[in-house]
Structure 1
Amino acid sequence: MNGTNSLRVATFNIRYDSMGGGSPALNVNETINTNIFKGEAPWYVRRRKLAEAILFHKIDIIGLQEVLVNQVQDLKVLLGEDWEWIGVGRDDGKDKGEFVPIFYRNKRVKLLESKNIWLSKTPDLPGSIGWDAILPRIVTQARFQDLLTNLKFWWFNTHFDNEGRIAREESARLIIKNSHHLLKSDSEILILTGDLNCEEKEEPYQLLTGKKYIEKSLKTDELFCDSRYEITRPHATSFGYSNTFTGFSPNVKPNRIDFILINDNVLLKNKSVKVLNHGVMPNRYDDELFISDHRPVIADLLFL
């Protein structure tokens, strides 16, 4: 259970609509036999269950990855009037290519401002490709106000390149630089969600977290903490799975590449945020339908 005033946050790579052709129109009375699909199912089969997972877990705000415009439109309908979203397509800054949108419950948080940057040497140029990346990669940046506590916070949502090692490292550096530019005081909150396409042992994660989880005595400021390791309840550990990427086949090697990070000043220095819970939830149930090739990652945050 999340605390009364806690904010339930999440990150989820939903797998793009890889089979093309868009989505059939949503029909409230439609029934789909999900048992006939092995491996990756079409988006129109996955979309209802994926939206229901977000609603069932009572998420307040979530960063999504690999979302095409038709998927954004479907989720807006399926999640309902209490939900709004921000984001742009990475190819043109409008509606082409994948989005990394932030969906949020408008009864819990209020959007104050937002923009998108490209993970490249020209971050304000739509469609720009950085370093050795094979595709444009973006960050959706937004500032929100929590309507329960009135506290304001920043949220970055991103998806690092899957091929470019240098691009992933430089993307981490660019996010750190951008966070330093935006945060005006030690008390400002920044939540970073995303599919970083790297594991904990790799350099992008280590850059973002300042190696604090491998060098226990190392003190860092103005970097990030991993919510998985910062749960404040006594004897608490992350719930559920460890790996966040599963693929659509048992032959795929699973790993942990999806993260909810929080700037360490508010967790370690002034302790204005507490992590109450962290968990990695299922992406497959009794009907054996994969709603995505990633699992959703959830955390409960308490703003003090």
Structure 2
Amino acid sequence: MPDESLPAAAPLRVMTFNVKFDDVDDPRAAWAGRRAAVADQITASGAGVVALQEVLAGQRDDLAADLPDYTVLGVGRDDGARAGEAVPLLVRSDLTVLDGGTFWLSATPESPSGFNAGALPRICTWAHVRLPGDEVPGRGLHVWNVHLDHLDESLRRRQLAVVHRRTRAVAARGAGPAHVLLGDFNAGPRSTTLTDTRQAGWQEARSTSRALPTGPAGTFHDWTPGAALEEANARIDHVFVRGGVTVHAYETVRPTTAVIPSDHFPVVVDVTVPA
């Protein structure tokens, strides 16, 4: 029998969703035609924390207006303000943001930069959130949202190593053990990037879910949703947990609307955070 004198673990649904930047030269990707579908997808998910990728400043403004129950955290990667893509976190109003920010996946994480001169800058937006009913100071959940390089595996590994160092630094400060790392890794299930992540102490949500994962095998479909249904190598959007976070359910969501919201499927994961 469970010890009823102990507080119950706090439940939370998290979501990662590459919404595709506003590409006015591609009718499929032009934001004006997809904006409502993306907002509806996020609302329907019921997620408390949503990690987005490829979000330009205008898209960020629109989502903040369309989703008033969420606080939008994050900055553009080109200047630390509005220029370039962001990887924002949306945090629902019943959660409290204790801390957060954005850093660059480079040798100089505090300023706009990259490891390679020719590569796009990449960033991580993070937040330390407290769940409803949790009044223990400093506990909560740390959420780390990334979008790694799309071309170079060695560069992806270096970028993710910056995140691993940050999460270890947080643990060293005693700021709560529970963490979720999620986003567009641009790396398949058998990649060295994901192997590095497992070796750094992270558990893959899909493989540790108590319920069988549901939905398509892949997440990137390039505007042809049927393409990723059975292709596990197209699973490049991932969720990892550590610090006692339990994964109860994992779903890759295939939208059923006439308008395709993005060239990626979102991933939704139900977790409980240690009380």
Give TM-score scaled by structure 1 length: 0.79
CA contact (8 A) 1:227 1:299 kept: yes
Map of 1:54-69 to 2, 5 A cutoff? Answer: 54-69=42-57
CA contact (8 A) 2:105 2:115 kept: yes
User: How far does residue 155 in structure 1 lie from its aligned partner after superposition?
Assistant: 1.0
Instruction: Report the residue type matching 2:78 in the other structure.
Output: D
Determine which of 158, 168, 187 is the counterpart of 2:156: 168
CA contact (8 A) 1:39 1:249 kept: no
Indicate the residue corresponding to 1:219 in structure 2. Answer: none
Determine which of 226, 241, 266 is the counterpart of 1:296: 266
User: How far does residue 149 in structure 1 lie from its aligned partner after superposition?
Assistant: 3.2
Matched, 1:121 2:107: yes
User: How far does residue 148 in structure 1 lie from its aligned partner after superposition?
Assistant: 3.0
Map of 1:8-47 to 2, 5 A cutoff? Answer: 8-19=13-24, 40-47=28-35
Rate the CA distance shift 1:39–1:239 in 2: closer, same or farther, 3 A: farther
Instruction: Report the residue type matching 1:165 in the other structure.
Output: E
Map of 1:1-304 to 2, 5 A cutoff? Answer: 5-19=10-24, 40-80=28-68, 82-107=69-94, 109-126=95-112, 128-131=113-116, 134-150=119-135, 151-184=139-172, 185=174, 188-210=177-199, 223-232=201-210, 236-249=211-224, 255-263=234-242, 266-267=243-244, 273-283=245-255, 285=256, 287=258, 289-304=259-274
Rate the CA distance shift 1:17–1:62 in 2: closer, same or farther, 3 A: same
User: How far does residue 243 in structure 1 lie from its aligned partner after superposition?
Assistant: 0.5
User: How far does residue 250 in structure 1 lie from its aligned partner after superposition?
Assistant: 7.0
Query: How many angstroms apart in 1 are the aligned matches of 2:60 and 2:13?
Result: 21
1:211-261 deviation line (CA, Å, top 9, x unaligned): xxxxxxxxxxx52111111123xxx21011110110014797760000111
Instruction: Report the residue type matching 1:246 in the other structure.
Output: H
1:270-300 deviation line (CA, Å, top 9, x unaligned): xxx32111100014x352x221000010011
User: How far does residue 58 in structure 1 lie from its aligned partner after superposition?
Assistant: 0.9
Question: Aligned with 1:99: secondary structure?
Answer: coil
User: How far does residue 170 in structure 1 lie from its aligned partner after superposition?
Assistant: 0.5
Structure 2: state its 5+ residue gaps. 1-7
Query: How many angstroms apart in 1 are the aligned matches of 2:61 and 2:164?
Result: 31
Query: How many angstroms apart in 1 are the aligned matches of 2:165 and 2:144?
Result: 13
CA contact (8 A) 2:178 2:273 kept: no
Task: State the aligned residue count.
Answer: 259
Instruction: Report the residue type matching 2:201 in the other structure.
Output: L
Rate the CA distance shift 1:237–1:19 in 2: closer, same or farther, 3 A: same
CA contact (8 A) 1:131 1:166 kept: no
Rate the CA distance shift 1:169–1:5 in 2: closer, same or farther, 3 A: closer
User: How far does residue 49 in structure 1 lie from its aligned partner after superposition?
Assistant: 1.1
Question: Aligned with 1:262: secondary structure?
Answer: strand
Query: How many angstroms apart in 2 are the aligned matches of 1:10 and 1:179?
Result: 20
CA contact (8 A) 2:74 2:87 kept: yes
Cα RMSD (Å): 2.3
User: How far does residue 303 in structure 1 lie from its aligned partner after superposition?
Assistant: 2.1
Query: How many angstroms apart in 1 are the aligned matches of 2:251 and 2:142?
Result: 22
Instruction: Report the residue type matching 2:182 in the other structure.
Output: T
Query: How many angstroms apart in 2 are the aligned matches of 1:117 and 1:201?
Result: 27
User: How far does residue 198 in structure 1 lie from its aligned partner after superposition?
Assistant: 0.5
Instruction: Report the residue type matching 2:124 in the other structure.
Output: V
Instruction: Report the residue type matching 1:207 in the other structure.
Output: D
Query: How many angstroms apart in 1 are the aligned matches of 2:10 and 2:175?
Result: 22
Give TM-score scaled by structure 2 length: 0.87
CA contact (8 A) 2:37 2:260 kept: no
Instruction: Report the residue type matching 1:124 in the other structure.
Output: E
Structure 1 vs Structure 2: percent identity of aligned residues? 29
